[in-house]
Amino acid sequence: MRRSVLAGLGAVVAMAASALVAPAASAGQELPLPGFGDIVVDDAHERVFVSGGGAGNGIVVTDFSGRVRRTIPNQLGADGLVLSADGTRLYAALSAGDAISVIDTATLTETARYATGAGTCPTHLARTSDLVWFGYGCVDGTWSGKIGKLDPAAAQPVSGDQQKDVRYQRAPLVSSGGGANGPLVAGQLSLSQSLVQVYSVDGGGLTVGATGDVVGAGLYDVDVTTDGTTLYSAAGGRDRAEAFASADLARRGAYAARPRPVAAALSPDDRHLAVGALTTDPNDVLVYEVGGTTPVDTVALDSGETVQPRGLAWSADKEHLFVVTRYQNDPEPHLEVERHPAGR
């Protein structure tokens, strides 16, 4: 799974126990961040980490009720986040610091920082077993995006140019189910025809697998099942989230999301899919059973609130679905915590 959960600073909203009944959501409160980068949940400590993206220099830590407990400073342009396999370390891509930082999840202190090279701008993170992969590239539009690898146990931990002969216009989004052999899925964001590239992981290196533009225009999000067999995409040019086989990108289902889906998040057991769209429709977030035909739950945000790209995630027990939103043109993210009956 790409990330565990977006925790909400804001009001906790009880989701309706019966299918197709939208809970009444109240507006989430602002996080002290200049924007939104990524979110990950530490279930063991019941903490949530939220980064502020390339324009921010901190990571906000909340508890599971959404209350801010701490801000971790000096995280320069903190963007992509991922937990280690054992959950003891949080890795943060410092897109304005040309580095990846490591934070102890028990003490909330930085314990290491790995330089990725001048002018690299590491932006997105994914993990396969103990290896951390990062999509990097500072300049949009020059086809300079690449994939790097961080192996904390290696004598030379950081290595770049892992993408083989594949070209990316900007830092690619990377996603994985976490397994040692991958797959690692790299997606090119926000193009008129977005590419997804599937890699297997063999001996610490990447092997090119299926590739194609099946996700359509304006890719925003990709999530991968824990067994790595299926990937789910949210692309602004479609009116649905879509599923594809990782082996050959054969279609494996579609989930209506209204125009401009921007977020797709699988529950940790891969049984439910939450989809969010950049729309003013009352039902901003739809929750499907995988393989189902109609939503089993919906989330209605307040007027003016919209789901942010890659702004959905779950707690491990599925009790909470977390939604990152923005109110109109305010750049500061809002966080909401939704109760999901699938976890009860």
Digitized pLDDT (tens) for each residue of the chain, 344 residues in all: 444 433 333 333 333 333 333 443 444 678 999 999 999 989 999 998 999 999 999 999 988 888 899 999 999 999 999 999 999 999 999 999 999 999 999 999 999 999 999 999 999 999 999 999 999 999 776 788 999 999 999 999 999 999 999 989 899 999 999 999 999 999 998 777 788 999 999 989 999 999 999 999 999 999 999 999 999 999 988 999 999 999 999 999 999 987 889 999 999 999 999 999 887 666 789 999 999 999 999 888 888 888 999 999 899 999 999 888 888 888 889 888 887 655 55
CB 9 within 8 A of CB 29: yes
- Encoded tokens for 27: 């507006």
d(CA 341, CA 285): 15
For residue 293, the model assigns a pLDDT of 93
d(CA 254, CA 293): 9
- Strand locations in 99-159 (E): 99-104, 110-115, 122-128, 131-136, 146-150, 158-159
CB 243 within 8 A of CB 230: yes
Strands 12-14, 334-339: pairing is: parallel
Look at residues 328, 299, 331 and name the one whose alpha carbon lies nearest to residue 314.
299
State how far Cα 130 lies from the chain centre. 18
For residue 281, the model assigns a pLDDT of 67
CB 70 within 8 A of CB 61: yes
108, 87, 28, 273 alpha-carbon torsion, rounded to 10°: 170
d(CA 36, CA 220): 14
d(CA 200, CA 155): 23
For residue 6, the model assigns a pLDDT of 35
